[in-house]
Amino acid sequence: MPIWVDADACPVPIREILCRAAERWQIQTTFIANHAINLPPSPFIHRRQVPQGFDVADNEIVDQLRSGDLVITQDIPLAAEAIEKGADVFNPRGQAFTKENIRQRLAMRNFMEEMRNAGQVTGGPPPFSKQDRKEFADKLDRWLQRNHKR
């Protein structure tokens, strides 16, 4: 039951929370990115740098994960693939992607992408906040309590 992190867009405070949890719970946590990231040395924390390219990190995560693993990502198509393989998925703000909500999230993502391409929408998500950090930490802690050593 390892944790897989789409590290290309993972906020630093979330990386820090994940590293502390990996040590405390002694759970294998792998950060996959197409650039170098700083992580503390630990037998439970791993980094895998993949080549630049469209969905290279996402594909690596999907190839490696197994049912029951946890995936941390903001990427909705990656979340959909991970859910299909039986993983639990949530984003760095602590929001869960589930079988029940992933289709609607994909549809909204595609709609917003079309609007941006048409020049109709120029804003993005709100800035990452302390509340987001807390929501993520709480969600991770609940997941670890439910799933550790199952």
Query: Which tens digit of pLDDT belongs to each residue from 66-89?
Result: 999 999 998 888 999 999 999 999
70, part of any domain: yes
What pLDDT sits at residue 25?
Answer: 95
- CA distances 78 to 38, 49, 88, 100, Å, are 23, 17, 12, 16
- What range does the domain containing 30 cover? 3-97+128-147
Q: Which helix (H) or strand (E) holds 46?
A: strand 45-49
Would residue 66 count as lying in a domain? Answer: yes
pLDDT given at position 124: 65
Q: Tell how strand 88-90 and strand 29-33 pair up.
A: unpaired
Asked if the structure places residue 116 within a domain, the reply is: no
What is the count of structural domains for the chain?
1
The pair phi, psi for residue 72, each rounded to 5°, is -110, 115
Q: What is the pLDDT of residue 72?
A: 97
**Is residue 139 domain-resident?**
yes
Which spans in the chain are helix H?
12-25, 56-64, 76-84, 102-117, 130-147
Q: Express each pLDDT in 1-18 by its tens digit.
A: 899 999 988 999 999 999
Q: Say if 121 falls within a structural domain.
A: no
102 in a domain, yes or no? no
Looking at residue 90, its pLDDT comes to: 94
pLDDT at 148: 76
Q: What does pTM read for this prediction? A: 0.85
Q: Is residue 112 part of a domain?
A: no
CATH number at residue 74: 3.40.50
Q: What is residue 101's predicted lDDT score, i.e. its pLDDT? A: 72
Q: What is the pLDDT of residue 129?
A: 87
Establish if 140 belongs to a structural domain: yes
Stretches in the chain below the pLDDT threshold 70: 102, 105-112, 114-117, 120-124, 149-150
